[in-house]
Amino acid sequence: MPLRSQARPPWNPAVANWISTAEQREDASKFSASAIERHYEERLKRWNAELDMLLVFAGLFSTALTAFIVQSYPLLQPDNTDTMVIALAQISSQLHSFTISPEFANSTERAVFPAQDASFTAPRYAIWVNGLWFSSLICTLSASSIAVLVKQWLHQYSQSLSGTSPDVARLRQYRYDSLHKWQVPEIIAALPILLQLALAL
């Protein structure tokens, strides 16, 4: 069955004016590529600025938190002063049990050692405080590590992307799609939440 020939649309001078030359198409391509490049650069600058502020805050907060942990962690361990006192008492008791005679020195009494509390139990409040502070420190360090990793991704994304040629534009769009595929924008948005959780702990 022969194909029907489609009727050509009527001549429209207004549409004819939109027919561009090769030079005009090249200029339009460069203009659009330049606009897209500015858009991506602004987004990268905003992301990098957010990550830089996050890293500064995480560094200051982890420093202050570490100082508190250094002071509270000894509460989970037995007091070294008590242990030293018990050891000195044992030595004194052993020395006291010896009696000296002209012929020889021998132990005539059984040494009596003070009772030592071997089953040390940390206070409940110390366990809770240290547990929360260690959890907060882990959240802060995790956010910092992820932020550094994301900054490396963004640095790799921006390499070899200068120019407005079609090849560069395609490479830029491919990398941008890859960032969304790996959910990098969502990760950047979640990092402040992780720091707020650490601050709440």
Q: Is residue 6 part of a domain?
A: no
* pLDDT value for 122: 80
pLDDT at residue 69 tops 60: yes
126 against 164, higher pLDDT: 126
What value does the mean pLDDT take over residues 107-133? 70
Does residue 56 lie in a domain region? Answer: yes
- Residue 134 covered by a domain: yes
**Strand partners for 106:** 99
148-176 confidence digits (pLDDT tens): 999 998 888 877 777 667 777 788 888 88
Give the type of residue at 4: R
> Which pLDDT score, from 0 to 100, does residue 16 have?
47
- Examine residue 30 and state whether it is found in any structural domain, yes or no: no
**Sign of the C-alpha dihedral computed for residues 91, 97, 100 and 106 taken in this order:** negative
C-alpha to C-alpha distance for 112 and 108, rounded to whole angstroms: 12
Percentage, residues of the chain above pLDDT 70: 66
Of 27 and 8, which is predicted with more confidence?
27
Structural domain that includes position 169: 39-74+122-200
* pLDDT at position 188: 92
Structure tokens at 6: 């489609």
Domain assignment present for 29:
no
Tell me the pLDDT tens digit for each residue of 188-199.
999 999 999 998
Whether residue 63 is contained in a domain is answered as: yes
Nearest residue to 29 (alpha-carbon basis) of 161, 159, 169, 173? 169
Integer angstrom CA distances of residue 123 from 127, 136, 188: 7, 20, 39
* pTM reported for the whole predicted model: 0.66
> Higher model confidence: residue 184 or residue 97?
184
Q: Is residue 104 part of a domain?
A: no
What is the tally of structural domains in the chain?
A: 1
Residue 17 inside a domain? The answer is no
Better-scored residue on pLDDT, 6 or 183: 183
**Position 71 pLDDT exceeds 60:** yes
Strands (E) in the chain, as ranges, are 98-100, 105-107
